[in-house]
Amino acid sequence: MSERASERAIRTATLMASSPETVYSQLRSFPREEPSRVMENPGLTDLDRALLARNNLLINIAVAQTTQDPDVLRDIYNLARTAVPSDERQVKYFYGLRIACLSNPAEARILAKEQAPFINDDELARIIRDGKEEETEALFRNPANIGLLKSLLTRTNQFASLEERRWCRLLWFAAGNERLNIDNSDIHGPDMDAYNISKAIATLARVVPVSELGARSLISVLDRVHSHIFGESKSHHAEMLDRWRAWNYEPKSEREWSEDLKSEVLALLGAVIGSYSTKDAAGKYSSGSIKSFDSADLSERCASYSIEILSDKQVESAYERDHEYFLRSVFVNSSVMWNRAHRNFIEEHLPNRLFWRYKHHCRLFKKERSDFDDKMHSAELREQTTETILIERIASLEAHVARLEGWIKSTKSWVVWASIILAGIIIMVRR
């Protein structure tokens, strides 16, 4: 529900009389307006501009992070970009102020399909081409920049001619964007933004270079995708898999663990994009899947692991066969993740390198439904067991030390008496 005009007037007066620290805290804690209401409430912009008129460094940062008016954001960004700092302190401040603008997640900006509306084309091109890490991260991990994310994933528009290594670097940043897993579909209709992003992810697997760099970039994105994505068509799906199956890749055996990027990509493609859409002669759409639990093909097995309801025996046999590839596939399988016994099995066999991926998907299940148990019971049990063993070993060591100290004391006593006796004998002999 939108804030009433009278309430906003009181809030404005309160903030104008408050300390910069209070303003910062309050602005960041206020609930955001519905996008449709933002443009109807000029009072929101009036408040932002009134606060900016106080010309306080901390308040400026707060407004940059929270304003929902693109014009206000543009003014702040341009001020920070064109300012002439007098010392190193001001250099850092104005740079941070720009980062605050780039990371502003104002929902009203979903109207901007191709770029953040407060950045002009030249400035956007600069950040895309050679922006610093902080500004690149802020821009490409901002869930409000839907159009920009879509263009990046499909390598179109601003990214069509971008140097390959730089493009892959931007993909790595974008992999942390929450928009990959946001779907606001409801009874009123589908979330078309979510639909377009999922299509873009499916396209990424067909356009990213078949190389070690491309594989790592694709993996960084697929690892974070929490829902099943449908390929555009059966033929596109086959093309996607075939280009990676044909990759002549040799795992690097000198690593601590056997890393097989080719198998990793194929496993994730099956688990995340294991389905596709089909259209019959009448134009009716339906879906198909490559899932096959006992298939000789890794992608088909992983598609099965991520979709089907698995029995205890199947969970055990699948892990025995595919180990990490199985684990990474079931992270998105709701029937497995909601099964406490299956979760215990996963946690007991979870290697450290997959820990953050597992926690990432647990967090998203928890976000979908608050009653999801995201605690690692088996891990906690192992920790308790380890702690118990450690305590027992410490106690044993302390007992051993105590015995050793007693032996040392008794040895010292024996040595003293032996010395006295030996001295007496020597005296007697000399006499």
Phi and psi, residue 148, nearest 5°:
-65, -40
CB 136 within 8 A of CB 105: no
60 vs 49: CA distance, rounded Å: 10
Q: Averaged over 331-337, what is the pLDDT?
A: 96
Residues with Cβ within 8 Å of residue 255, at least 6 apart in sequence: none
pLDDT at 392: 52
Q: Give the C-alpha separation, 165 to 218, whole Å.
A: 13
Query: What's the rounded Cα separation, in Å, for the pair 57 and 92?
Result: 12
Triad 225, 228, 230: Cα angle to 5°: 115
Domain residue ranges of the chain, discontinuous segments joined by +: 1-106
Task: Give the pLDDT band (50/70/90) at residue 2.
Answer: low
Q: Which amino acid, 384?
A: Q
Residues 6+ apart with CB under 8 A from 299: 241, 266, 267, 269, 270, 274, 290
Task: Say what the pLDDT of residue 370 is.
Answer: 93
The DSSP bridge pattern shows strands 275-279 and 230-231 to be: parallel
pLDDT tens digits, 121-150: 899 999 999 999 999 999 999 998 999 999
Confidence class for position 286, pLDDT limits 50, 70, 90: confident
Report pTM.
Answer: 0.79
pLDDT per residue as tens digits for the range 38-72: 444 555 678 899 999 999 999 999 999 999 888 89
Distance CA 218, CA 268 (A): 9
* pLDDT > 90 in the chain, percent: 56
Residue (of 266, 272, 261, 264) closest to 245 by Cα position: 266
Q: What are the CB-based long-range contacts (under 8 Å, 24+) for 75-83?
A: 76/52, 76/101, 77/101, 77/102, 77/118, 77/119, 81/123
Give me the pLDDT at residue 401, please: 46
Q: Name the residue among 240, 324, 344 with its Cα closest to residue 290.
A: 240
Q: What is the mean pLDDT of residues 361-382?
A: 83
Helix count and strand count (H, E) for the chain: 21, 3
Q: Average pLDDT in the 283-299 region?
A: 90
Nearest partner of 42 among 87, 76, 72, 86, judged by Cα: 72
Strands 285-289, 275-279: parallel, antiparallel or unpaired by DSSP?
antiparallel
